[in-house]
């Protein structure tokens, strides 16, 4: 069977369980695709080819047995390079962790191993997940498979590009302010951020602990549902993980949208939105209505404060979380011959890139004596107002539909000299993190440059089944998820 790497997760799982293909054949197809395309794309920071082959052989043994088989058994998966993976270099795309090899697995990795998934390697990202374009990686550039001169979106750029280029069947990333949904939109794949606490963050290198959440990438909604089901659930090692049963998200997929109410927030069709994006998303909302959904207008009045609120909360938490990288506890040590303070300074100055330094300084300022009340405390109060907007909205509708981004993927280098313009890339995704809600981006069209456009769907906390139902209904009625970039062929 040719081009096994182009299979969806659900197709590959069915063929593996039927014995029509082997995991080793599937894994070799992905490794060949990586060898063929990754010199140009740059998705991977660490390719674990021999480990993947070993895991594939173990998966085949398991598939040929009578018990212990999981829907993800034998499926090749990529991991954003912030999931601790025992014995595999884990860098967070930062020079300060360039040689770090963890002694244990994150809960996500442990659950994937238990399921029998095949981990192909670690994927590029913005350093410490701080960025909207994957240009802030300290270890290499990643390009958009649809146009190599364009960004992938960030911070989970390598995860999105690897799935779009059919290098792996699925991948995991993290979303702090849009870091799954934005690259999914730019790269034309499905990217999903679950409810805060739905997936354990234990062993996931932290950026902003009250915002970070793990989520999947796939070429289809059903694939994303399978990936989420595998890693979701209570974890005693993460005090913020939610102790509620995990439904079978795949079962939620199917049927029309009769009885589903879709809310459209006017605040998300912002001034400056690209006309192609506006048209594609409005057309997609019309298609949801044709599928049986009722569409209503919704107001989210505090949306205009979301970017400012986010960049106070996120940088303050980053400042706190990154204090541990000092050359003593963690990090590549530099300048120790000049004394302790010099060692601290040289370690952090040489190890962190410009964007990480910028955010640490912003966050430290916001938390400093005399400014805490004016910035961080006020931001947390506005965060409560934003959450309240969504709570009132979901009294009137089951899901929200809006653009993932006001624009398609921009050219590499176009915004690196303008941090504020870069921060505004996340203007339509940030509020969802501040409110702790589940959100999903899936392709809904292409602009005049043949670049993907993302439709963003959002539901109330723990309403992921509704999210998958709406997304799959749209996906089944269109062919956008079946399209792939030329480099992937």
Instruction: Confirm whether 453 is domain-assigned.
Output: no
Q: Are 286 and 264 in contact (CB under 8 A)?
A: no
Bridge-based pairing state of the strands 399-403 and 170-174: unpaired
Per-residue pLDDT, 67:
67
Instruction: Confirm whether 277 is domain-assigned.
Output: no
| Cα–Cα nearest to 94, from 188, 184, 206, 169 | 206
Catalytic residue annotation: 80, 155, 179
**Strand ranges for 181-225 from DSSP E:** 190-193, 214-218
Q: Quick one: 322 and 469 in the same domain? A: no
Euclidean distance between CA atoms 58 and 119, whole angstroms:
12
Q: Quick one: 366 and 425 in the same domain? A: no
Instruction: Confirm whether 105 is domain-assigned.
Output: yes
| Cα–Cα nearest to 401, from 452, 450, 442 | 442
Q: Quick one: 120 and 197 in the same domain? A: yes
Q: Quick one: 82 and 222 in the same domain? A: yes
Q: Quick one: 230 and 324 in the same domain? A: no
Instruction: Confirm whether 293 is domain-assigned.
Output: no
Per-residue pLDDT, 258:
96
Axis-axis angle for helices 49-63, 9-18 (nearest 10)? 50
CA 84 to chain centre: 16
- Cross-sheet strand order for the sheet of 76-80: 44-47, 118-123, 76-80, 170-174, 214-218, 190-193, 439-446, 452-459, 399-403, 261-265, 294-298
Work out how many domains the chain is built from and give that number: 2
Euclidean distance between CA atoms 70 and 32, whole angstroms:
25
Euclidean distance between CA atoms 90 and 488, whole angstroms:
27
Instruction: Confirm whether 153 is domain-assigned.
Output: yes
Q: What is the CA radius of gyration of the chain?
A: 21
Residues β-bridged to residue 296 = 263
Q: Quick one: 135 and 230 in the same domain? A: yes
Instruction: Confirm whether 339 is domain-assigned.
Output: yes
Q: Quick one: 217 and 353 in the same domain? A: no
Instruction: Confirm whether 34 is domain-assigned.
Output: yes
Which structural domain, as residue segments, surrounds residue 308?
304-380
What's the per-residue H, E or C state across 377-431? HHHHHHHHHHHHHHHHHCCCCCEEEEECCCCCCCECCCCCCCHHHHHHHHCCCHH
Euclidean distance between CA atoms 489 and 482, whole angstroms:
12
Instruction: Confirm whether 10 is domain-assigned.
Output: yes
Q: Quick one: 178 and 256 in the same domain? A: yes
CATH number of the domain encompassing residue 26: 3.90.1300.10
Q: Quick one: 349 and 471 in the same domain? A: no
Euclidean distance between CA atoms 308 and 233, whole angstroms:
32
The angle formed by the CA atoms of residues 407, 461 and 194, to the nearest 5 degrees, is 55
Q: Quick one: 369 and 411 in the same domain? A: no
Per-residue pLDDT, 334:
87
Q: Mind listing the pLDDT tens digit of every residue in the chain (489 residues)?
A: 679 999 999 999 999 999 999 999 999 999 999 999 999 999 999 999 999 999 999 999 999 986 678 999 999 999 999 999 999 999 999 999 999 999 999 999 999 999 999 999 999 999 999 999 999 999 999 999 999 999 999 999 999 999 999 999 999 999 999 999 999 999 999 999 999 999 999 999 999 999 999 999 999 999 999 999 999 999 999 999 999 999 999 998 988 899 999 999 999 998 889 999 999 999 999 999 999 999 999 999 999 999 999 999 999 999 999 999 988 888 888 888 888 888 888 889 999 999 999 999 999 999 998 888 899 999 999 999 999 999 999 999 999 999 999 999 999 999 998 888 898 899 999 999 999 999 999 999 999 999 999 999 999 999 999 999 999 999 999 999 999 999 999
Q: What percentage of the chain carries pLDDT values higher than 70?
A: 99
Q: Quick one: 129 and 198 in the same domain? A: yes
Q: Quick one: 223 and 139 in the same domain? A: yes
Per-residue pLDDT, 5:
98
Euclidean distance between CA atoms 334 and 350, whole angstroms:
8
Q: What percentage of the chain carries pLDDT values higher than 90?
A: 89
């Amino acid at each position: 069977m040719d081009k096994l790497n182009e299979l969806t997760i659900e197709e590959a799982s069915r063929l593996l369980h039927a014995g029509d293909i082997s995991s080793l054949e599937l894994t070799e197809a992905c490794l060949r695709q990586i060898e063929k395309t990754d010199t140009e794309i740059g998705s991977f920071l660490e390719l674990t080819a021999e480990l993947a082959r070993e895991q594939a052989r173990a998966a085949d043994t398991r598939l040929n047995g009578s018990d212990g088989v999981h829907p993800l058994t034998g499926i090749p998966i990529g991991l954003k390079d912030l999931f601790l993976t025992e014995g595999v270099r884990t860098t967070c795309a930062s020079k300060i962790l360039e040689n770090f090899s963890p002694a244990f697995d994150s809960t996500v990795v442990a659950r994937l191993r238990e399921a029998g998934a095949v981990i192909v390697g670690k994927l590029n990202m913005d350093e410490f997940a701080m960025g909207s374009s994957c240009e802030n990686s300290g270890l290499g550039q990643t390009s958009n498979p649809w146009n190599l001169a364009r960004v992938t979106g960030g911070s989970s750029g390598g995860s999105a590009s690897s799935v779009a280029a059919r290098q792996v069947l699925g991948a995991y990333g993290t979303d702090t302010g849009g870091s799954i949904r934005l690259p999914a939109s730019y790269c034309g794949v499905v990217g999903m951020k679950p409810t805060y606490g739905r997936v354990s963050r234990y062993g996931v290198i932290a950026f902003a602990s009250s915002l970070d959440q793990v989520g999947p990438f796939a070429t289809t909604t059903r694939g994303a549902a399978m990936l989420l089901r595998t890693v979701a659930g209570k974890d005693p090692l993460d005090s913020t993980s939610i102790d509620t049963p995990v439904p079978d998200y795949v079962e939620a997929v199917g049927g029309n949208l009769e009885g589903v109410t879709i809310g459209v927030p006017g605040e998300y069709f912002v001034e400056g939105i690209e006309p192609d994006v506006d048209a594609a998303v409005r057309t997609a909302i019309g298609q949801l209505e044709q599928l049986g959904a009722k569409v209503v207008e919704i107001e989210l009045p505090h949306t205009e404060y979301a970017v400012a609120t986010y960049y106070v909360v996120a940088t303050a938490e980053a400042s706190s979380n990154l204090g541990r990288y000092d050359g003593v506890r963690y990090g590549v040590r530099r300048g120790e011959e000049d004394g302790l303070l010099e060692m601290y300074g040289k370690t952090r100055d040489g190890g962190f890139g410009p964007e990480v330094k910028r955010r640490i300084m912003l966050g430290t300022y916001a938390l400093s004596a005399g400014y805490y009340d004016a910035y961080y405390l006020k931001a947390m109060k506005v965060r409560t107002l934003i959450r309240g907007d969504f709570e009132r909205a979901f009294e009137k509708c089951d899901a929200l539909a809006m653009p993932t981004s006001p624009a398609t993927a921009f050219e590499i280098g176009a915004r690196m000299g303008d941090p504020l313009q870069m921060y505004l890339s996340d203007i339509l995704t940030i509020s969802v993190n501040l409110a702790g809600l589940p959100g999903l981006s899936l392709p809904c069209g292409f602009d005049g440059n043949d670049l993907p456009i993302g439709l963003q769907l959002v539901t109330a906390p723990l309403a992921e089944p509704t999210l998958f139902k709406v997304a799959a209904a749209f996906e089944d009625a269109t062919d956008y998820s079946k399209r792939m970039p030329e480099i992937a062929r």
